[in-house]
Structures are given as C-alpha cells and as structure tokens.
C-alpha cells in the first residue's frame, strides 16, 4: 500500500502530515513509498506469512474503580499464528493510530511475544489502526472500529 514514510525512523504517516515526524521529531523527511505496508483481507488469507503478520484485535470495555473512570482496552496480537520471537526474526514495533492520527509506538525486542494494548477513554469512537513491523517481512496493517 502506498504511504508517506519517514526516512529517519520508518514511521508511516496515515494522516498525510509531512511537516514533522511524531516519533523521531525530524522535520521534512517524508517520502512517498509504493510498498510502505501490506494490507490483507483476513477472509482471503491462505499463506502462513500473512497469518503470522496481520494484527488482530480484542476490544474490551471495563468499569473503572472510580465512578466516571471507565475505559476501553484495545488489545492487539500479531498474527493468527504466533509470530516467531527470535533475534533473527521478530516483531520490532507496533504503532497505534486513531482515525489516521498517530497515538502510540511500542518498541519490542526478540524477548517479547508480539502483543500490545492501548487504553482509551470511555466514549472514544473511531477506527483504531495498527501497523506492525517485522524485521524480515516488513510492515503490516489492520484496523478495528470502536463504537
């Protein structure tokens, strides 16, 4: 999929903002890239590579201990099949976006199973998008609607 990619850190700008990278803070460093990330329809997946890379979601609503402190956890697991966590082949990062706006970047090492969670304020609505980065197979995208 075509996207704007930071030449310094590899961040992908889904919102089209070219001025400053929110991850490394470099200015005017974006370039258009034809194969910035891969998108695959879960129903069409047949290959093992795709099954190890497409982010999957669980959206869990919780009641907070304090009145008015309810929240929504968006849990992400990379792959329908567990992705390897080896020094030579692992998920390096999971980037979260809400409605194309960057909100969080989680860096991983080969010692970590590729999962992550963000906690949204109760009432948050929109699409939560994730781009994961594998050191061997590149970047993969998926999204879930939160209502």
129 pLDDT band, cuts 50/70/90, is very high
CATH number, domain of 81, equals 2.60.40.730
Whether the pLDDT of residue 136 is over 70: the answer is yes
pTM of the full predicted structure? 0.87
How far, in Å, CA of 83 to CA of 106, rounded? 16
Residue 67 shares a structural domain with residue 121: yes
Mean model confidence pLDDT for the chain: 89
The pLDDT, as a whole number, for residue 42 is 45
The tokens of 96 are what? Answer: 């979260």
Burial 31-62 (b: 16+ CB within 10 A, else e): eeeeebbbebeeeeeeeebbbbbbbebeeeee
Report pLDDT digits (tens) over 15-28.
888 889 999 999 99
Q: How many domains does the chain have?
A: 2
Residue 50 shares a structural domain with residue 18: no
Residue 28 shares a structural domain with residue 66: no
Whether the pLDDT of residue 46 is over 80: the answer is no
Residue 80 shares a structural domain with residue 55: yes
Residue 6 shares a structural domain with residue 52: no
Residue 30 shares a structural domain with residue 102: no
Query: What is the secondary structure of 63-123 as a DSSP string?
Result: --SSTT--EEEEEEEETTTTPP-BTTB-EEEEEEEETTEEEEEEE--TTS-SEEEEEEETT
Residue 97 shares a structural domain with residue 116: yes
44 pLDDT band, cuts 50/70/90, is very low
How far, in Å, CA of 85 to CA of 113, rounded? 6
Residue 70 shares a structural domain with residue 134: yes
Residue 93 shares a structural domain with residue 70: yes
Domain assignment of residue 16, given as a range: 1-36
Residue 8 shares a structural domain with residue 78: no
How far, in Å, CA of 73 to CA of 84, rounded? 25
41 pLDDT band, cuts 50/70/90, is low
The pLDDT, as a whole number, for residue 49 is 82
Whether the pLDDT of residue 126 is over 50: the answer is yes
Residue 58 shares a structural domain with residue 97: yes
The pLDDT, as a whole number, for residue 43 is 46
Q: In the predicted model, what is the mean pLDDT of residues 9-18?
A: 90
Residue 129 shares a structural domain with residue 71: yes
């Amino acid at each position: 999929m075509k996207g704007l990619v930071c030449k310094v850190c590899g961040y992908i700008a889904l919102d089209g903002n070219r001025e400053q990278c929110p991850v490394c803070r470099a200015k005017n460093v974006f370039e258009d890239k034809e194969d910035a990330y891969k998108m695959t329809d879960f129903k069409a997946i047949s290959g093992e590579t795709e099954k190890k890379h497409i982010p999957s979601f669980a959206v869990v609503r919780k009641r907070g201990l304090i009145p008015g402190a309810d929240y929504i956890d968006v849990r992400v697991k990379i792959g329908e099949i567990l992705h390897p966590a080896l020094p030579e082949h692992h998920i390096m990062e999971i980037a979260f976006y809400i409605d194309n706006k960057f909100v969080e970047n989680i860096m991983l090492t080969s010692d970590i199973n590729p999962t992550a969670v963000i906690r949204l304020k109760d009432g948050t609505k929109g699409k939560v998008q994730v781009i994961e980065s594998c050191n061997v197979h590149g970047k993969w995208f998926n999204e879930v609607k939160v209502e």
